[in-house]
Structure 1
Amino acid sequence: MPVAAARLARVAEGSSPSAATIQPAWVRIAHWLNALAAVLMMLSGWRIYDASPVFQGFSIPTGVTLGGWLGGALQWHFAAMWLLFFNALFYLAMNLVTGRLWSKFFPLSPRAILHDLGEALKGHLSHADPARYNAVQKFAYLFVMLDIAILIISGLAIWKSVQFPLLRELMGGYDRARVVHFCAMALLAGFIVVHLTMVALVPRSLLTMIRGR
């Protein structure tokens, strides 16, 4: 009887299993699909880059590329491209429909970003509430959303340059679109490195993205 009463009390206080969910299933699925697509696109994209370098004298080590040859890399790249594109659409739509975009990532200000960045560098930034993002996290996630959008747009301008002249001109022409695409890819790679570092420092964030709680 006391056990049953305790369970009822926890439910009444809002600590039921559903209330404890931090990352809903659709967020976790979209996150891991996005991670898979991003890694595949980067590794295959580096092989494509080596076939026709944007920056002369700079190439990517073959050991960290995917595809084995240009044709194979293109097949991997296009397959991952569609996964990234539709998954990004799904993630953005769900964030808008559920209101998660505004509740999780806003409000946000330059002052808050600088303050939390300074606290993080000093090791004073608290991670007591995994359900809430600090200002640096908000900025980083919004940045990577924008970066992926630029990757998709510049990629289309390169892949279908004739069919999408407006996108090509928006990028400053075909050659500049390649530069934009490479730089956006480099920024995404940098984000992944920082993200993995933060996960290593706060490992429970990984468990949250796996279990949702």
Structure 2
Amino acid sequence: MATPHALSKTAPPVMPKSGTIHPVWVRVTHWLNALAAILMMLSGWRIYDASPIFKSFTFPPAITLGGWLGGALQWHFAAMWLLVFNGLLYLALNLASGRFMRKFLPVSPRAVLHDFIAALTGKLSHADLRVYNAVQKFAYLFVVCDLIVLVLSGLAIWKSVQFPLLRELMGGYDNARIVHFCAMSLMAAFIAVHLVMVALVPRSLLAMLRGR
């Protein structure tokens, strides 16, 4: 009779569990957050062009949203409320369900570096979409923090008189505009990298659409 040790050597590898990967609330809030962030980014580029921080740099009108400054502001504020309320709901549900701790923590610089090198060399496994690697954990935590900075710096610009402490924490009105621009640029970079990753692992898109 084969010993348990021998059986463990010949047993087939454990396959990823079947079933739902992303519950409905994750998918709905994810897509609403994505919509709000993209609308804010495109309309923000039109607002930026009306008074550029860097005089030698503006965005082509064809990739902006709003048509003119007033229209862009309307789009921007509408998307802002969607992002704030939906983002708060997303964070609250993640924390209340324990998903935040399960999915995004723990993460360490060493683990991020290890998985980043593995990704560059094509050795990073995506067999089980339920498990986020360290690079994914870092990227998602980063974009959550970046969106918070975007909202706070936007408030410091929009309601500079009403939120003087927030304005001063940003280094003043002009510096708040720079912080807002940099945070927007980082979000655009995240979206670009995210789309590349989705193209490389198309199953991740299907999972976010149908849940499995």
Q: For residues 132-151 of structure 1, what are the structure 2 equivalents within 5 Å?
A: 132-151=131-150
Partner of 1:11: none
Partner of 1:184: 183
Moved over 3 A (4+): none
1:89 CA displacement: 0.4
Partner of 1:8: none
Partner of 2:69: 70
Q: For residues 18-37 of structure 1, what are the structure 2 equivalents within 5 Å?
A: 20-37=19-36
1:168 CA displacement: 0.3
Q: Percent identity?
A: 73
Give CA deviations for 1:31-79 in whole Å, capped at 9, x if unaligned: 1001110111011000000000011111000100011100000000000
Pairing 1:52–2:48 present: no
* Paired amino acid for 1:198: M
After superposition, the CA RMSD in angstroms is 0.8
Distance 1:162 1:24 in 2: 42
* Paired amino acid for 2:107: L
Partner of 1:7: none
1:184 CA displacement: 0.3
Give the structure-2-normalised TM-score: 0.91
Partner of 1:193: 192
Partner of 1:108: 107
Distance 1:104 1:83 in 2: 24
Partner of 2:5: none
Give CA deviations for 1:141-192 in whole Å, capped at 9, x if unaligned: 0000000000000000000000001110110000000000000000000000
Give CA deviations for 1:189-211 in whole Å, capped at 9, x if unaligned: 00000000000000000000001
Partner of 2:96: 97
* Paired amino acid for 2:24: A
Pairing 1:123–2:122 present: yes
* Paired amino acid for 2:173: Y
Partner of 1:12: none
Paired residue total? 196
Partner of 2:164: 165
Distance 2:179 2:53 in 1: 10
* Paired amino acid for 1:35: A
Structure 2 gaps of 5+ residues are 1-16
Distance 1:107 1:187 in 2: 23
Give the structure-1-normalised TM-score: 0.91
Partner of 1:207: 206
Distance 1:102 1:166 in 2: 32
* Paired amino acid for 1:81: M
Q: Which secondary structure does the structure 2 equivalent of 1:162 belong to?
A: coil
